[in-house]
Structure 1
Amino acid sequence: MKIGHLGAVAWVVIGAAATLRAADGTWIAPGGGAWSDTANWQDQAVAEGSGATATFAAAGGAVNNDMTALALRGVQLGGAGYTFAGNALALDAAGFITVLGGSHTVGLTLTLGGPTTFTLASGQTLTVDGAVSGVGSLELYGGRTVLGAANTYAGPTVLVTGILEVASVGALGSSDDDPANLVLGDGTFRYTGPSATLSRGYTLLPGLSSNRAAVIDIPNAGTTLTVAGKVAAPGGSFIKTGEGTVAYTYPGFQELSKSRASVTESSPLVFDANGSAGTNGYALFTVDKGRVILGAPGQTNQIASVAWIGSRTPRLAPYGYHRRRDPLRRLLRDHRARNGNTRLAAAAEPLSLKRRVRGNAQFCHGLLEQPAEFLQ
C-alpha cells in the first residue's frame, strides 16, 4: 500500500487501485469564476468530495459550479457576498451551510443527504433560490434564511432560531401534515406570498421550560395563511405579527400555546435581527398585529394562561394593550344579541383569557370580531 498527496487531494493506492478522498478548499479569487478552475483555489486545491468543506471568504462574486456530481460535507461563507449557480451540489448526511458574514444567494440545486444545518451570523441573509431536494431535513440557526423555490426535500423543517422566510408553502418541502414536520422555535416564520393553505400544522417549540416565543409574521394585509393541520405546543409562547391573517382550520383539539418561565410583561415588544422577541413584552398567546381566525367546525383551541390582543408599544398606539372590562361570557352574549361584534376597550393591561376557545373567533388589533364560546 502507498499513501501520498497530489496537491491537497489525498490518495491511497491498494494494489493497482487508487481512490480519491475528500479535499477541503478555500476560494481565493478576488471575484467570481468557475468552480473547476484550480487558479481560483488556494494551493490549487479544488474543494470536492464527500466529507470536504468549501470556504468562501474573499471579496465575493458569482461562482459557477461547472463540476459534475459535486458533493461536499458543507460550505462556509464570508466576504461581501457570493452568488452560486450552475450544476447541482449534493450535501452529505450532516451537511451544512455556515454564513459567518455577508448575504449570499444559492441559485443552484441542493440535494440533502441527511439532516442539514444552515447556521447564520446575526443579521446576515442566506437566500436559497435553487430547488432543495433529497431525503434530508433542514435545521436553521440565526440570521435570515429565505427559501425561494418549490422544494421537495423529505424531512422536517426546524427553525431553532432566526428568521425563516418563504413566499410559497411549497418551499417547505414534501413532508406530510404531521406537526413535527414544521417546528417553530425562538424566531420568526415569515410568509410573504399570496393567500394560501398550509396543509401541515406546526409544532410550537421555542423551549420546553423557557421564556421564549415563536413568531408568525404575515406582512401583507391582504394575505391569509390558512393552517389546516394540527398545532402542537410542547412548550413556549406564540406571537402573531404583521398586518395579514392567520386562520386555523384543523377540525379538532389543539394547543396554541403552552408554558413559559416568569418574564416582565410590561415592556414594549421588540424583535431583534434574528426575529426573536426576547423574553419580555408578550403573553403566552399574543396577537401583536393583524388578524387571527379560529373556529372551524369541530375545533377547540386551548390557549394556556394569558392571551393578549394587542401589545405594548412606547406610546401604546396604534396597537396598545386591550382587555375585557366585563365577564367575557356576558360580554359575548350581549354583543351577539346586537350585532355579533365585541369591541375591547383599550387599557393599560392586556386582555386575559385563560380559557379554551371554541367557535368562530377573529382577533384583530384588540377587536374580537366574531363571537366564540370560551370554555373554563
Structure 2
Amino acid sequence: MGNTTHSNSAPSSPSSISVNRQNSTEKQIHISTNHADGFYFTGERLTGTVKIPTSFLHSHLQNKNNSTSTELFNKRSLRNPIIIELVGDATYSAEIDVAADSDGHVTHKVNLCRQCSIVTMHQNKIELQTIESSTSSSDTKSRSRNLSSVLNGTFHLHIPDGLPPSLSNNRTPSVVYTLELSLSSNRRRYQIPITLSSRGSMSHPMADIKLSDTAVNKNDICLRASSSRNYYRPGEQISVQINYSNPQQRRSIRSITVQLVQFYRIHSDQNCSLLDGKEWTFDIATVLSSTQWSGEAHLQLPNQPLQASYPASSVGTTRTIECELHYRILIDLNEKKGDDINLILAPIHVTYQK
C-alpha cells in the first residue's frame, strides 16, 4: 500500500553520439583534431592534422607525365592550396500550403558558418606506413607487408563566437558542424563531425535564485514545485521538491510526474528531448489517508558533451534565422477524471562557466 516511486535513467545527450575521427567518405584520407572527442566551445582554437597517402594523390591528380606523386603534388600545391573548412548548417521544417506537399511542410537548410584554413603540407616529412595483410588456410599461414608513403599536413582555425550549439538529431530541427577538406583536383569533400557548444552564461550569487510555481484545479487540489537554484553544470543533479494538498481527499489522483527536458528551436520549428524523469503513482488507500503529500526528485544532467543554454539569437550567413536552446522542469499531476495540473518552472541555466 502507499505510493511507489521509480525513475527514468537519463538518456544520452543529443550530441553525445560517438564520433569516428576517421573520414567516412574515403578511408585513405585521415583528418584528426586536437580534441579526440570532437567537442569544442565556440570562440576556441581548433587545430588538427591531415594525412594523405601519395598513392591516393597518384590516382586522383591524373598523373600523365609519369612524375612521382610527390613531385606532382609539390607543383600543384603551389597553385592550388588544400583548404579545410568548418561548415555549420541548420535544418528546419516550415509550414507551407497543404496543397503543395503531402504533409504541408518543407525543409530548409541555412548555412551558419564557413570558416576556412589552409592546410600546411609538410612535404619534407613523409611517413612510411606499413600495411599488413594475412591469409590463412587449414595448413598454412602467410603474411605480406606493403609500404605506403603518407604526406602530412597541419591546420588551425578559430571557431567563431556566437554560433548555436550542435543539435544532431535524425529529425528537424538540427544543427550540424563538420570539418570539410577538399582537394583542388577532386570535387569530393572529406568530412568529420564536430560538436560545438557555448560556455553558457556566468553564474552570479545574486542571480542564482530559487525556482517555484503553484497551481490549483477546480477540485481545490494544489500542486507546488520548487528547485533551490537555477544555474547548473553538466553532470550535476537537480533537486526538485513536490508538494500537493488534497483537502477534499479525492480518490482520483493517479500519479505525479517530474521531467527534465531540453527544448530547442530553429526559426518556427521546435522540438524537445527528455533527459531524466521520475514518477510517483498512488493507490486508493494513500490518497484517502492523507490530505497532504510531499516528495523529492533528483534529476540528472548528462555530462559533457552537453550543450550549454543558448538564448534566442539571430544567426546565418546568407540568410538570418533565430535559434535557441534551454532546459525546463515539467511537473504533471494526473487525475482519473482528466482534470490534470501542469506546472512548468522557469528555465534553468546549464553553463560551463565557473
| TM-score bracket for the superposition, by shorter chain length | under 0.3
Larger RCO: Structure 1 or Structure 2 (Cα < 8 Å, ≥ 6 residues apart)?
Answer: 2
| Alignment TM-score, normalising by the size of structure 1 | 0.17
Higher share in strand: 2
